[in-house]
Copies of this chain bind each other. A is one copy, B any other.
Amino acid sequence: MIEFSSDYNEGAHPRLIAKLVETNMVQTFGYGSDAYCDEAADIIRNLCGQKDLDVHFIVGGTLTNLISISACLRPHQGVISPTNGHIHVQETGSIEATGHKILTIPSKNGKITAAQIDEYCEEYLNNEGIVHLVQPKLVYITHPTELGTLYTRAEMLAISDVCKKRNLYLYVDGARLGYGLVAEGNDTDLKLITECCDIFYIGGGKQGALFGEAVVIKDKAIASDFRPIMKQRGGLLSKGRLLGIQFSELFKDDLYFEISRHANNMASLIRECLKKMGIEFFVENTTNLLFPILPDEMHDELSKQYSLTYYKRWDKTSSVIRIATSWATLEQNVMKFIRDLEEYACA
């Protein structure tokens, strides 16, 4: 079975593995207070173009989201999220388990707009019974989104502006940030995201690391007590250096972006093939997640050799299927998949 079901089907990029092997018996203090984490944080601050940033490393996206979001909120405050936001539909109520409501805004292609956020706040403020409403305080977006789409520089700046106007924090879930930043047509970068956000994270677990997300905090109030909150939620890894070692390596020699490009290229090969075959897509994007609408028969046939993710029913005879490539996707597997697709088309 060849895996296209997700971007975490393998271990870590060999260079990270090598570094873990190399440093294995070095002695360090725990909980992220070590030279490797310091180094990784410095590299990230540099890439983000700001010196005064707190950087923390956490194992896993759900843990990162629940710690980051709850750290931003007072008890009666909630987080604005697209209706298809990962925190809303895929994390078993992890945000609510910290006591906070998710305030949803309908998403289009996985994205929401500055205007929608502004309107939400306007309605909140105009409500006569405002004390009965959850106060919006934080905006959560993913970049790229769950659907592999991207915010443009203009869109992100507009969202950031409306957040500042409405006294909202902006948090970007960058679980697949690398795949987004090197995607064709993307005009955002780490410096822009740092400029726009109060807090965001750079994903490692889906992008070359065994695990690990790097949380970047610009806002001083959020930064001030982030570490004890990490610990309280079980997010302070005792051998924290494992995260520092991996992120240091990931950001050396442009590795993070190079392997992201590979994933996108692999996805492009499949995308082009499917398009040539006349397959339509649920959503257009240029990153590593494809959402073709496949005839059920075709999906069944492919599923014999390839692990794909069922996304949702499209019509009586076809469904939206998610195909994921990653830094680890072998070109030979993609080529085989394409050959099988073409064969299927001819049959």
22 contacts across the A-B interface (CB closer than 8 A): A9-B28, A11-B242, A14-B24, A29-B307, A31-B131, A59-B59, A60-B236, A66-B233, A71-B75, A75-B98, A90-B132, A91-B232, A94-B232, A96-B134, A97-B99, A101-B102, A135-B228, A205-B239, A206-B238, A210-B242, A211-B238, A211-B242
Q: Are B23 and A237 in contact, with the CB atoms below 8 A?
A: no
Given contacts A93-B78, A211-B238, A238-B211, contact A11 B30 (CB under 8 A): no
Dominant SS among interface residues on chain A = loop
Q: Are A238 and B10 in contact, with the CB atoms below 8 A?
A: no
Complex CA distance for A229 and B307, rounded to whole angstroms: 27
Q: Are B24 and A12 in contact, with the CB atoms below 8 A?
A: yes
A100 at the interface (CB under 8 A from B): yes
Nearest CB in chain B: distance from A252 CB, A: 19
Given contacts A128-B310, A131-B231, contact A70 B75 (CB under 8 A): yes
Complex CA distance for A141 and B346, rounded to whole angstroms: 54
Contact of A62 among B60, B70, B129, B236 (CB under 8 A): B236
Nearest CB in chain B: distance from A133 CB, A: 6
Nearest CB in chain B: distance from A217 CB, A: 15
Q: Are B8 and A234 in contact, with the CB atoms below 8 A?
A: no
Q: Are B17 and A2 in contact, with the CB atoms below 8 A?
A: no
Q: Determine how many copies of this chain the complex contains.
A: 4
Mark interface residues in A57-90 (1 if CB within 8 Å of B CB, else 0).
0011111111100110011101000000000011
Q: Are A11 and B31 in contact, with the CB atoms below 8 A?
A: no
Chain A interface size, as a band, is: 35 or more
Given contacts A5-B29, A11-B20, A28-B9, contact A94 B233 (CB under 8 A): yes
Contact of A30 among B6, B130, B135, B236 (CB under 8 A): B6
Contact of A96 among B27, B99, B229 (CB under 8 A): B99
Complex contacts, A89 vs chain B, CB 8 Å:
133
Minimum CB distance partner of A241 in chain B:
B11
Report A's interface with B, CB cutoff 8 A: 1-3, 5-6, 8-12, 14, 17, 20-21, 23-31, 59-67, 70-71, 74-76, 78, 89-94, 96-102, 128-135, 205-206, 210-211, 225, 227-229, 231-239, 242, 307, 309-310, 328
Q: Are A97 and B232 in contact, with the CB atoms below 8 A?
A: yes
Complex contacts, A8 vs chain B, CB 8 Å:
30, 238-239
Q: Are A93 and B134 in contact, with the CB atoms below 8 A?
A: yes
Minimum CB distance partner of A12 in chain B:
B24
Complex CA distance for A3 and B28, rounded to whole angstroms: 8
Q: Are A66 and B234 in contact, with the CB atoms below 8 A?
A: yes
Q: Are A232 and B75 in contact, with the CB atoms below 8 A?
A: yes
Complex CA distance for A70 and B232, rounded to whole angstroms: 14
Nearest CB in chain B: distance from A208 CB, A: 12
Complex CA distance for A99 and B78, rounded to whole angstroms: 13
Complex contacts, A328 vs chain B, CB 8 Å:
25
Complex contacts, A70 vs chain B, CB 8 Å:
75
Complex contacts, A30 vs chain B, CB 8 Å:
6, 8-9
Complex contacts, A31 vs chain B, CB 8 Å:
131
Residue among A9, A65, A135, A225 having the largest count of chain B Cβ atoms under 10 Å? A9
Minimum CB distance partner of A26 in chain B:
B10
Minimum CB distance partner of A175 in chain B:
B238
Q: Given A60-B236, A61-B238, A76-B225, 13 more contacts at CB 8 Å?
A: A2-B27, A12-B24, A17-B24, A31-B131, A59-B59, A62-B236, A64-B234, A75-B232, A76-B231, A94-B232, A96-B99, A96-B134, A97-B232
